[in-house]
Structure 1
Amino acid sequence: MALLNVAVDMPRFKIDGAKYKVPELDEPGAVDFAKQLIAMAAAGNDCSSEWIAAIRSFFTSNVANMTTKSPNVFGKRQAFPALRRMILAQLVKAWVTRMQRQLPGQIEEGLQQMFLELYEAHRVVAIRKGIMEYFHISKAGGTSWCHAAKNNGCRAQIYDSAYICQISQFDDRVRWLNNNFHVRRTGRGARWGSWGRAKRVTNLTSCAQRHEFAALMGYQYFSNEYTLHEGFEDPANVGICHQFFNVILIRHPHKRLLSHLKFVVLQMKWDYRNNDLFNRTFWGTDSEFWDQFGPVLVDNYMLRGMLGETVYHAPIGSLGAEEIARARAILQQYDLIIDLEEGHDAVDQLIELGVGWPHTLREIHDKDSVKAAQRLNLTYDPYLPRDLDFLYDRQAPDMEWYNFGRVLVRLDELLMSVVAALGAKPLPSLDLRELHGNPRAIHCGLFRRGPRLPGSSDERWMPNDFFSKVTAEMLAARQAAAAKAAARAKAVRAAKEAAAAAAQGQGMQAAGGRGLQGLDLGGEGEGRGGGGHSLTHPPSHPPARAPNLTTSTKEEGVQGLECSECMCLGSSTYCNMQNMFLCS
């Protein structure tokens, strides 16, 4: 009940003068409508016929009327998701308390129509916006979500083999690890080692600039794996970009943290190609090591991303009640929230009705950490922090935020399940089951018309000179990078072949001088046993070899390169990702 009250009271922060960024409350009449709902609840008149009529009047006059015709694509691009969840929280709260879990018969028909109109606002605004910004919380299903976008025919800048799906010009790359610490510890650099470089390397920093670029390029989907926006100078100003249809996947903080730690350990083992160095660095670590190496990973990662670049890089232990409240208010404004812990049936319904995608996460199985570890002969436990429970306890702010997110997800599920029972469809003129398996026909579901600039008279996105120019520049850059990579790989192969030939020649000379005396006729060499090792002593076996993958990549700009030559091209974030993730 307490978390329902948080959802009900969220607009009060803005109304009472708190410096919260809530774009939907800046719309004409929105604050007055919120005040009306608050007053009705205070008088015990919420969930009445008058309450239902006020809600229906606001949404139909400000967003869309129910109609069997094609939606008006030129209308307001604001679905009021925070107010929608406030309304549903009021309803659930009244149903549990005052109504004793029984709906009065006289309001049932009005409630059904209200639910349909709330969903219609959500659906029509998604069509009007035509582009999704997905906030990718690392290790919370973002790779699979990008893969789903591809399966549903969404236009994106590039679908690389790692399924990152970012816009390279935005610099939304992760800043996970402290490279300076890693260099001091190992003498070598670390991938993702840009923690501390808070500012994005781009001129496209405002929401308006980001939307203009993405809209001109016609992208229907992109992801952001760094932080939310416009909070670099003033963290109080951070928030979502209302110009986009905003989606986020959330996950239990402890599961997310464990997955993140395993992923980094796995990647470091691959990168080092040196078991001795890997064992010296990661065997038997503790929270103090990770506080220095990956501070953002182990201290409320989800909250930090929600609150902008400055909070992302804030000292460990500095997040508290104020940050939790601000992040909750931001989360309530998302158009769609999905909890990975809810199970496939609930998630499928949210995806199908929420964005009009028939291909859901159920079909996708990316980045299996168990299989990846087996390929590298890696057992995770000895390399995870010894005091992992201490780190779990430190995620309390993330847990408070996540628990509130679960309530918001349940409110969204309530809406979608009711309208599904009433026969609502995301695209009434199309049968998603018939489109299943044909991404070109799906056209990214509700975003099928693509993005348009504010005030555009076009009913759908149209190619333009800016699009042609930028596309040509990116293609040329990818081709140049591919040629350079091929030349570098060829040189490396030649050097290895020359070294092997020289070593073979020296070996033959030595063998000729020794006769049979130096031949190894058998023995107890390494490699006969399994890959296991104890938890008290690091293993001494040589580095595990990478799987020999020979399938050529098919991604744009890297045709002709063998799998072992895969690397970061175009807008991919994870440069030089291991073969098992980059090659398919």
Structure 2
Amino acid sequence: MLSKGHCRFASTGLLSAIALLLGCLFQPGDAFPSSVVPKYIDNAAWFGQNPLGREVLSTRSADGQPTTIFFEQAFTSTFNTKDPDQVSRTLLQYGEVIRWIEHTPQLNATQLAFLPEFGSAAVLEIVQTAIKLERDNNTNSESLMVALADLSSKLRAASTKSPWRGFAATRRVLLGMILKKRVNFGGRFPSDVEASVDSLLLQLFQLHKASAAARGAVQFFHVSKSGGTNLCHTAGANGCTSQGFDTRTNCLIRDFFDQPRWVSYNAHKYLQYRMSSRQGLPWFVNFHSFRPPYSCEQRRAYLLRDGFNFYANEYTNPPASDTTATVTIAAGSSTSSSAVNGTTADSLFVAAAAAAPSSCMCEQDFVNLLMLRHPHDRLRSQIGWLEKLYKEYYLDVDTQPAFYNRTSGFWERLMPAGVNNYYIRSLLGSRFFEYPVLEVSPQHATLAKLAALQHDILLVLEDKGRSELALRFGLGWSTAGLRDDAVRSSSELGDDVALPLDYPSLLARNAPDVELYSFAREMQALDTLLWNFVAAMDERLGGALVGVAADAKDTDTAGGEMVEAHCGYVSMGSPESVAGLVERLRGVEVPPKLAVAASATPIAAPAGLAGGGRNGSGARLGGSGILQLGDFGQHRIKIGGRGPSVVSINRRNGRRLLRLKTQQGWVRHRKPEHAAARRR
């Protein structure tokens, strides 16, 4: 924490200056005081109102036809002609979204927690209009142009009411509708229709960009072994600010306790017994570790105070509030209760609401980013990575035989969530995550799809080209390359990964995760349609549409103004939007910092990077010297449900040895009464 006498404003843009100022005015744990009036610095940010794109679209030739049309170019860039089923797969998943909307006359609070965008009557009116247009197979150009203009007007009105909203779910509904219409036309749109489509797509991008600038920070939902470390490095290369971009910190905020929860304590003790080894508790034995219930607003206030605009959450979505209320869909929506698999859709989601945890999406506070990997590849990588961690931690033991000839039941006890539909459990929240005895049902999978639909940016590890396009034009990152050498793996294990004997049955139990992955991949395809459109138009405008520099340290022209690119769009907020953000967060209690040294390594640092073995724990805490035994209680809540001082009591050679954790590693310590008895 900087003292008031040592505050310095670095030239890192508007948000960093505000954060430094706020950090000098109040201590961690305080609320935003109403008397604090920060000094705002104009960074000449382009806020989505640049008329250049409109001028390009309105240009006509001598015969009155549009001179520049971009949608068809985006369509051919998105869908590979060598795979004729691409469009069909995308429309199939899009149809699932449409059917859910039609068959759900009421959204309860649990559904709204995962899809808060649909809590707006204005948004639902747009969605219902788009569905009606999608269901109409009429190919009359005039009526379609009128309908598109009506949607544009409704979208403009909705954005006026909620200027921070990015309309992620609405955007995908509209893009799916346009794709379906293009199929109905049997080929390319007529030029006038395509000009109307281009105008709507430009509006969607402008709203997305303005929303990212207004929210001012990215929340990356990092699902373990899905390429998150790679993405964290890319964020650092693009000038984002976080608590750390190294592999130890991995973009986590240590005070949020969002480190991944992997191994259960009881299963670990059994495995340790089978390895005939007695060591301190590894950092990755943390499945039931406590996490403070910090809300979305508290997390945003923390980042604002510290000048961060990017962070990763590698656990579950933050907690939500009440899940008992219901919200009625706007008038004109379908009230059909047709059967889905023998049960009405409404009853399915009532049951899902009862079983789902209290978790939510941070729609208003962050640009939400989700990266997925095929669940089968992620599962194999997860198993291999854990075997690697054990091997590095227990240097004096050959750990590999302990994993041979095991069934999937062994792995489900060892990593209850990590090998059992990890995506869905992570998205649905900590209460569902920590009770893996509950089988993942189709209702749970649907709720997870709603959460994926609400994410502003969807990335798929296997689709590197589309993912880099999303980073470049969806986030405005100028250095969008995902580096292959930044992916952490278990390839250096030196042994073959010991998979369960019944591995195929374990894969079968992860079918709901595969279903979610397939859905997210096709939603990413719809996004790619927009990003390719933006890429084509931005090239025509010489980079003025996106308006970020080619390098994070350089500047570029956007609307006639020079702007610095620090983490893309989230650094381009206007002074008015940032002032509104600070005003909204006044009175929010900011999460306190840990009561340990600021230079401490993160709680969830990999054991292998901390030296491993007997005296190397990746869970080292800050502070100096040995923690006093009397501090056990007061540190219990702060480090996640397990005290940092007393770790294990082992009996060796007839003497009781107390193992204590220090900043330097593990030390043995005799109890005072035993030492006195020996002296007597």
The normalised TM-score by structure 1 is 0.72
Which residue of structure 1 aligns with residue 496 of structure 2? Answer: 380
SS at match of 1:478: coil
Which residue of structure 1 aligns with residue 451 of structure 2? Answer: 330
Residues 1:256 and 2:346 aligned together: no
Per the alignment, do residues 292 and 355 of structure 1 end up closer, same or farther by CA in structure 2, a change over 3 Å counting? Answer: same
Per the alignment, do residues 330 and 293 of structure 1 end up closer, same or farther by CA in structure 2, a change over 3 Å counting? Answer: same
Q: Which of 269, 276, 284 lines up with 2:405 in the alignment?
A: 284
CA RMSD, aligned part only?
A: 3.8
Residues 1:228 and 2:317 aligned together: yes
Which residue of structure 2 aligns with residue 77 of structure 1? Answer: 164
Query: What amino acid sits opposite 1:53 in the alignment?
Result: A
Give CA-to-partner distance per residue, 1:176-214, whole Å, 9 cap, x none.
1111111133145343222234xx43252x222222222
Per the alignment, do residues 180 and 306 of structure 1 end up closer, same or farther by CA in structure 2, a change over 3 Å counting? Answer: same
- Counterpart-to-counterpart distance in 2, 1:304 and 1:133: 18
Q: Percent identity, aligned pairs only?
A: 24
Whether the 8 Å contact between 2:133 and 2:177 is mirrored in structure 1 is: no
Give the Å deviation of 1:83.
0.7
Tell me which moved more, 228-237 or 333-342: 228-237
Q: Which of the two has greater helix per residue?
A: 1
Residues 1:239 and 2:360 aligned together: yes
Per the alignment, do residues 118 and 135 of structure 1 end up closer, same or farther by CA in structure 2, a change over 3 Å counting? Answer: same
Whether the 8 Å contact between 2:357 and 2:431 is mirrored in structure 1 is: no
Which residue of structure 2 aligns with residue 403 of structure 1? Answer: 518
Per the alignment, do residues 400 and 458 of structure 1 end up closer, same or farther by CA in structure 2, a change over 3 Å counting? Answer: closer
Alignment of 1:57-456 (within 5 A): 57-63=153-159, 76-96=163-183, 98-187=184-273, 188=278, 189-197=281-289, 200-204=290-294, 206-231=295-320, 235=356, 237-242=358-363, 243-276=365-398, 278-316=399-437, 318-343=439-464, 345-363=465-483, 365-369=485-489, 372-373=492-493, 378-381=494-497, 383-423=498-538, 428=545, 430=547, 432-435=549-552, 442-449=565-572, 456=579
Whether the 8 Å contact between 1:123 and 1:446 is mirrored in structure 2 is: yes
Give the Å deviation of 1:163.
4.5
Give the Å deviation of 1:330.
1.4
Give the Å deviation of 1:385.
1.8
Give the Å deviation of 1:302.
0.6
Per the alignment, do residues 451 and 269 of structure 1 end up closer, same or farther by CA in structure 2, a change over 3 Å counting? Answer: farther
- Counterpart-to-counterpart distance in 1, 2:519 and 2:126: 24
- Counterpart-to-counterpart distance in 2, 1:9 and 1:451: 39
Whether the 8 Å contact between 2:243 and 2:249 is mirrored in structure 1 is: no
Relative CO higher for 1 or 2, CA cutoff 8 Å, sep ≥ 6? Answer: 2
- Counterpart-to-counterpart distance in 1, 2:252 and 2:495: 32
Whether the 8 Å contact between 2:134 and 2:180 is mirrored in structure 1 is: no
Query: What amino acid sits opposite 2:504 in the alignment?
Result: D
Whether the 8 Å contact between 1:177 and 1:192 is mirrored in structure 2 is: yes
Give the Å deviation of 1:124.
1.0
Which residue of structure 1 aligns with residue 59 of structure 2? Answer: none
Q: How many residues align?
A: 474
Give CA-to-partner distance per residue, 1:101-152, whole Å, 9 cap, x none.
3323330111111111111111111111110100001111111111111111
- Counterpart-to-counterpart distance in 2, 1:372 and 1:401: 30
SS at match of 2:94: helix
Query: What amino acid sits opposite 1:171 in the alignment?
Result: F
Query: What amino acid sits opposite 2:389 in the alignment?
Result: Q
- Counterpart-to-counterpart distance in 2, 1:445 and 1:105: 33
- Counterpart-to-counterpart distance in 2, 1:334 and 1:427: 26
Per the alignment, do residues 178 and 361 of structure 1 end up closer, same or farther by CA in structure 2, a change over 3 Å counting? Answer: farther
SS at match of 1:433: coil
SS at match of 2:598: helix
Whether the 8 Å contact between 1:228 and 1:239 is mirrored in structure 2 is: yes
Whether the 8 Å contact between 2:222 and 2:370 is mirrored in structure 1 is: yes
- Counterpart-to-counterpart distance in 1, 2:584 and 2:296: 19
Structure 1 unaligned spans of 5+: 65-73, 483-545, 550-563, 577-584
SS at match of 1:338: strand
Per the alignment, do residues 105 and 203 of structure 1 end up closer, same or farther by CA in structure 2, a change over 3 Å counting? Answer: closer
Structure 2 unaligned spans of 5+: 1-90, 324-355, 556-562, 602-607, 623-637, 645-660, 662-680
- Counterpart-to-counterpart distance in 1, 2:595 and 2:564: 26
- Counterpart-to-counterpart distance in 2, 1:190 and 1:359: 36
- Counterpart-to-counterpart distance in 2, 1:451 and 1:290: 50
SS at match of 1:166: coil
- Counterpart-to-counterpart distance in 1, 2:594 and 2:544: 34
The normalised TM-score by structure 2 is 0.62
